[in-house]
Amino acid sequence: MRANLRTLAGLALAVFLVLPFLPLVGWSVARGWRFPALLPDQVGVDAWAYALSPPSGVLASFAVTTLIASATTLLAILVGLPAGRALGLYRFRGRGLVFLLLLAPALLPGIAVVFGLHGILLRLGLAGSIPGVILAHLVPVLPYMTLVMAAVFARFDTAFEDQARSLGATPWQTFRHVTLPAILPGLMVGALFAFLVSWSQYLLTLSIGGGRVQTLPLLLFSFASAGRNDITAAIALLYILPGLMILAVTARRITGRGAALTERLHP
Amino acid sequence: MTDRTRLALLLAPALLVLGGLFLTGLGLTLLRSFRYMPALGLTEPDLAAYAAILTAPGFLASLAFSLWVAAASTLIAAVLALAAALLLRQTFPGRAVISFLVQLNLTVPHIVGAIGILYLFSQSGSFARLAHAAGLITTPAEFPILTQDPYGIGIILLYVWKELPFITLILLANMQTLGEDHEAVARSLGATRWQAFRHVLLPLLMPSLLAASALVFAFAFGAYEVPLILGAHAPKALPVLAWQASTDTDLATRPEAMAMAVVIALIGCALLAVYGRMLAKGGAGAR
């Protein structure tokens, strides 16, 4: 009885989680789907064919979004890895303050910072450009990367580096052959999720890009407000692909029983 | 190289980015909210923008609306997530599939979920069609307005859908670090399942549940694209109102947009304080 109840509750949860994807899949293959039809009048790949053809701009937008998210992730690694090392390995005065400064951009809504950010990037001559959007994305992405790396370095033993150095390795060799292999799994998880945080940005891109940088969510919104449900649905499904791929790489068993999950989550 | 210099070098790039972009950005917003904009000839800071938004009816309605949506979404998501976490800790057929779906949901951008909710719950959406098939309605207009509605029902539905998995994963991670020992001890001392949950497990989970809830509240309160798709014309969510004020052709409304951004930032800071306190209390799972 109890087990049946559990299965039933699990089924309800699964349906709830899947539900919003169902009309998206339906619309993406629908050729006309008027009220009150439960299923599309006709099924075809028209929306997909249009979304994947050059005139729709979806592929170009996919490339721009990928470029921005990759560059943001790379910058976040370059800046966040050293900072994470400092926070994970050292106890120093003001460490709490640095943590607070890192948590704030991750927690404060984009709208709170976007106007000022636009002012700064305008002065730097970067408003309306891809580099400007990348710098803006760095604000919510960097904290995430740094906090993951801080957690990684908190479990890192520097004795291995000391041994490599005492055996004559250069700082680069030590990093390349000792430090990097040890932190790589954590770095990968941090990088993949940093990519997703940038990939999902809407308001920062809209504001800093000023309409000249068309990432996928912006394109998605313009098709949605034009009432093209079929193309909107196809783009929406394309847009979640990288997340799916990243999940396939990082998915783990979550049981609530065994050893701890260590990576930091974000809403 | 001393530890001090090494530390400074390691932290410098991150502090430069966060100080130069984030803190300066907040500072600039604050200055402009006081109507200090030398470029426009405004060199006398004042509180006129704050007075203007407080006396305009739209602002308070939007503030109340955003607080309502955030509070309702957070409460419902937190309660359901607690139930989902307790469920996923048990073994039952199909658990692996559900834990995959929970993680999948986490990677889906909010805007995609919002469009999915719109296509499900709008007056010509999937549920309206089901209601028609069941003979409950004959035209779309008879279906209750659940999206782009004045109560934010569609927005709340989206946040519950999107943030339930987030809180569930944090709770499961926390349960993993706790293990089952505490409850087993309580049970062996004669506690019922409910007593063991209520007096042993729940208090242990509380810090991470509250920390996760603070994050969800902050997001639901401050997100822009979700109310843009699922929100009504009035009242607008506060971030939408602030953005529209900032893009108004009338330059005089810019300081008002900045003042709204400052109000949003202050509420965010209060949530940051709650989050920080809960983490310090030992919400290991949320870290």
Tens digits of residue pLDDT in A92-134: 888 888 988 888 898 899 999 999 999 999 999 999 999 999 9
CATH code at A167? 1.10.3720.10
Tell me if A254 is assigned to some domain. Answer: no
State which residues form the domain around A86.
62-213
CATH superfamily assigned to domain B21-286: MetI-like (1.10.3720.10)
Residue A264 gets the label, from left (phi > 0), alpha (psi -120 to 50) or beta, of beta
DSSP state, B42?
B
Residues 89-128 of A with CB under 8 A from B: 90, 92, 98, 100-105, 107-117, 119-120
For residue B18, give the nearest of A6, A105, A255 by CB distance: A105
Q: How far is A54 from chain B, CA to nearest CA, in Å? A: 22
For residue B222, give the nearest of A112, A115, A138 by CB distance: A112
Task: Please tell me whether residue B246 adopts helix, strand or coil conformation.
Answer: helix
What ipTM does the predicted assembly reach?
Answer: 0.90
Overall average pLDDT of the B238-247 stretch: 93
How many degrees, rounded to 5, is the angle at CA A243 between CA B148 and CA A200?
Answer: 50
Q: Judge: B94–A10 Cβ closer than 8 Å, yes or no.
A: yes
CB-CB neighbors (< 8 A) of B97 in chain A: 14
Spatial separation of the C-alpha atoms in residues B129 and B121, rounded to whole Å: 10
Q: What is the pLDDT of residue B174?
A: 87
Overall pTM surpassing 0.80 (yes/no): yes
Q: How many structural domains are present in chain A? A: 1
pLDDT digits over B208-234, tens only? 899 899 989 999 999 999 999 999 988
Other C-beta atoms closer than 10 Å to the C-beta of B75 total 15
Task: Please tell me whether residue B248 adopts helix, strand or coil conformation.
Answer: coil
Mutate to test the interface with B, among A17, A111, A146, A262 (most CBs of B within 10 A): A111
Tell me if A21 is assigned to some domain. Answer: no
Q: How far is A248 from chain B, CA to nearest CA, in Å? A: 9
The rounded mean pLDDT for chain B is 90
Give every CB contact of residue B143 below 8 A, 6+ residues apart in sequence: B123, B124, B127, B128, B131, B137
Say whether residue B27 is in contact with chain A using an 8 A CB cutoff.
Answer: yes
Q: What is the pLDDT of residue B159?
A: 97
Q: How far is A152 from chain B, CA to nearest CA, in Å? A: 12
Q: Judge: B94–A82 Cβ closer than 8 Å, yes or no.
A: no
Tell me if A66 is assigned to some domain. Answer: yes
Q: What is the pLDDT of residue B65?
A: 96
For residue A35, give the nearest of B112, B128, B229 by CB distance: B128
Cα–Cα distance list, A245 to A133, A239, B110 (Å): 24, 11, 18
